[in-house]
Chain A
């Protein structure tokens, strides 16, 4: 009976404890990679960074601060567009996290004000986060460092990057928020969970048809 149940558990797709519907990839380094710091959302709720926000999920993460007059408003407006594009998936299997670079200044109320100002409040799956300065610095370096001390100490440098992670597939990539929307969406799609085989096959047939049509009309392939 024990052996049978052991085998059954091994074979089953039993959800992990804590997040019933989000299962991390077996090779995911989990909280060791992302930290499990206690953070506060713009709704003033306590969350654990890995357990509640990253574990088994696909997420787009950026860093900002409320009184930023440079990159942050621009990037937030880009993210509003990204959110619009993915509105069917947002809050279900895709999430967005905007973490403050200045936790000493940005309390949940300041973050909520910033989100409201940029039309990003109450959008499903998008959370603004603050926390202890020690934890925020750790998360900043774990997600955005480029292994150059001087650049890594520059807060604005870290504000101009989007980190895309999918803990369910163990994919870790980034996008430049200043590029075209097409490129940003393409980068996000690289971390998408793999589609079923027949769906991929259908898509490939469609792409091939398009390429053939382009070669016929223009003499060369336009589709990338």
Chain B
């Protein structure tokens, strides 16, 4: 009996040790069996100024249900709106778009990257609901939102995802030379180009969904 208890406490000690190594706030990985994805989605030519919806979307697959949160610019009866993106607007970006006017990048991320991204999305969601948006124009808010979400990815030293730096420097040809409303689309396209090898294709994504569902049933 005593030996068994000793054995169990030894196992739990060994399991706890790697967790304590990640002391930094928001950087620790909780080791959950779920899968997390970040989708950067944008469309061109939907609004009068030839721009369109642009939003980051966070997906959590836990088998029983797929949890999706998306905040950004979307189209409401042909008009530009900023806030929580309704399902009918983000549904078309659940699959890879075939039209050249759409761009989509789907990256698998860790739970801590997901949590950090979610924190940014929820803050912007609150801003939209409380009338506390930082800019009067939706494209400027979208620009800041996508900058914050993408920059939160590598905050804890993760290096796999290659970022395009929106910093208005000489190397940044997007933000300095192009009107703010057009930047998110081009930024997402550039991000897709940089991370083509990490992009999760539809068949792979569906595979993950099925596997998560199977795991939930067991």
**A interface list, Cβ under 8 A from B:** 32, 35, 134-135, 137-138, 141, 145, 147-150, 152-153
List the A side residues contacting B149 at CB < 8 Å.
none
Residues of the B chain whose Cβ atoms lie less than 8 Å from the Cβ of A153: 144
Interface residues of B (CB under 8 A from A): 123, 126-127, 131-132, 134-135, 140, 143-144, 147, 166-168, 175, 180
Assess whether B123 is in contact with A149, with CB atoms less than 8 Å apart.
no
Distance (Å) between the CB of A73 and the closest chain B CB?
28
Query: When chains A and B are docked, how far (Å) is the Cα of A128 from the Cα of B168?
Result: 33
Q: Is the CB of A141 within 8 A of B167?
A: no
Are the C-beta atoms of B134 and A147 separated by less than 8 Å? Answer: no
Q: Closest CB-CB distance, A128 to chain B, in whole Å?
A: 22
**Interchain CB contact (< 8 A) of B134 among A135, A141, A148, A150:** A141
B14 to chain A, nearest CB (A): 36
Task: Using A149-B147, A149-B175, A150-B168 as known contacts, say yes or no to A138 and B132 having CB atoms under 8 A apart.
Answer: yes
Known: A149-B168, A149-B175, A150-B167. A138 touches B134 (CB 8 A): yes
Whether the Cβ atoms of B131 and A32 lie closer than 8 Å is: yes
Which 3 A-B pairs give the minimum distances between C-beta atoms? A141-B134, A150-B168, A138-B132
In the bound complex, CA of A32 to CA of B132 (Å): 8
In whole angstroms, how far apart are the Cα atoms of A153 and B140 in the complex? 13
> Is the beta-carbon distance between B131 and A149 smaller than 8 angstroms?
no
Contacts of B175 in A (CB 8 A): 149-150
Instruction: Give Cα distance in the complex from A141 to B144, angstroms.
Output: 12
Which residues of chain A are within 8 angstroms of B144 by Cβ–Cβ distance? 149, 153
Taking A134-B132, A138-B134, A150-B167 as given, write out 12 further A-B residue pairs in contact, using a Cβ cutoff of 8 Å, ordered by the A residue number. A35-B132, A134-B126, A135-B132, A137-B134, A141-B134, A147-B135, A148-B168, A149-B143, A149-B175, A150-B168, A150-B175, A153-B144
- Inter-chain contact B143/A134, CB cutoff 8 Å: no
Q: Which of A138, A148, A149 has the most CB of B within 10 A?
A: A149
Residues of chain B with a CB closer than 8 A to A150's CB: 167-168, 175
A37 to B19, CA, bound (A): 38
User: Which residues from chain A contact B127 at a C-beta distance below 8 Å?
Assistant: 138
CB distance from B145 to the nearest CB of A (A): 10
Ordered by A's residue number, 9 sampled pairs between the chains whose C-beta atoms are within 8 Å are A32-B131, A137-B134, A138-B127, A141-B134, A149-B143, A149-B147, A150-B167, A150-B168, A153-B144
Determine the chain A residues whose CB is within 8 A of the CB of B168 once the complex forms: 148-150
What's the Cα separation between A145 and B141 when bound, in Å?
A: 12
- CA of A148 to CA of B135 in the docked complex: distance in angstroms? 10
Provide the residues of chain B in CB contact with A35, threshold 8 Å. 132
Return chain B residues, CB-CB under 8 Å to A32.
Answer: 131
Tell me, rounded to whole Å, the shortest Cβ–Cβ distance linking B89 to chain A.
24
Report the separation of the CA atoms of residues A137 and B134 in the bound assembly, to the nearest whole angstrom. Answer: 8
The answer to whether B123 touches A134 (Cβ under 8 A) is yes
State the Cβ distance, A154 to closest chain B Cβ, in Å.
11
Contacts of B123 in A (CB 8 A): 134
A141 in contact with B135 (CB, 8 Å): yes
User: In the complex, are the beta carbons of B140 and A147 less than 8 A apart?
Assistant: yes
B126→A149 contact, CB < 8 A: no
A149 vs B131: C-alpha distance when bound (angstroms) = 19
Chain A nearest CB from B174 CB (Å) reads: 12
- Which residues from A are CB-within-8-Å of B167? 150
Task: Give bound CA distance, A166 to B166, whole Å.
Answer: 36
Which residue of the partner chain B has the closest CB to A37? B132
Residue in chain A with minimal CB distance to B172: A150
A134 to B123, alpha carbons, bound, how many Å?
8
Bound CA–CA A137/B135 (angstroms): 12
Least CB distance, B137 to chain A, in whole angstroms: 8
Chain A nearest CB, measured from B202 CB (Å): 33
Residue in A134, A135, A137, A149 whose beta carbon sits within 8 Å of that of B140 in the complex: A149
